[in-house]
Amino acid sequence: MAKKIGCSCQNFESIDGFYSLNEFENFRNHFKKKLEDGVVLEIPVKKKYGGFEEHWYQCAGCDEKWRLVYPDFPFKGIWGKVPEGDDKAVMEKL
Ligand SMILES: [Zn+2]
């Protein structure tokens, strides 16, 4: 857990499943603001979590990477840190 002190990603809290589509939409709207403000940058997805729509973001202040996997019932979606291994993965291996 080596986060840079004062980095905006310190406030990111992982979400293991959104309770409702509404909650997911609220999260996305809230997150869109961060993207527009340049707090996070969208980066290419290197290894997919599953067969769901997914986007990766990197903190603008450090190299921490986060993934947003869209919910697709019964899968509830995920917002969380990209594990080191997935980050190093190569697309061709999919
Ligand atoms: Zn950061």
List, for residues 19-75, the tens digit of each pLDDT value.
999 999 999 999 999 999 999 999 999 999 999 999 999 999 999 999 999 999 899
Residue 31 Cα, ligand 1 centroid: separation in angstroms?
15
Question: Beta-strand (E) ranges in 1-94?
Answer: 40-43, 54-59, 65-69, 78-81
Q: CB–CB of 94/86 below 8 Å?
A: no
Residue 58 Cα, ligand 1 centroid: separation in angstroms?
8
| DSSP label at residue 38 | T
Residue 65 Cα, ligand 1 centroid: separation in angstroms?
8
Q: Smallest Cα–Cα separation from 31: which of 49, 12, 17?
A: 12
CA distance 65 to 43: 9
Q: Looking at residue 94, what is its pLDDT? A: 45
- Could you count the other beta carbons within 10 Å of the beta carbon of residue 63? 9
In DSSP terms, which residues pair with 41 in a beta bridge? 58
Which of these ranges, 6-10, 30-34, 41-45, 86-90, has the smallest mean pLDDT?
A: 86-90
Task: Report the amino acid identity of residue 68.
Answer: L
Q: Domain extents for the chain?
A: 12-93
Q: 90 pLDDT exceeds 50? A: yes
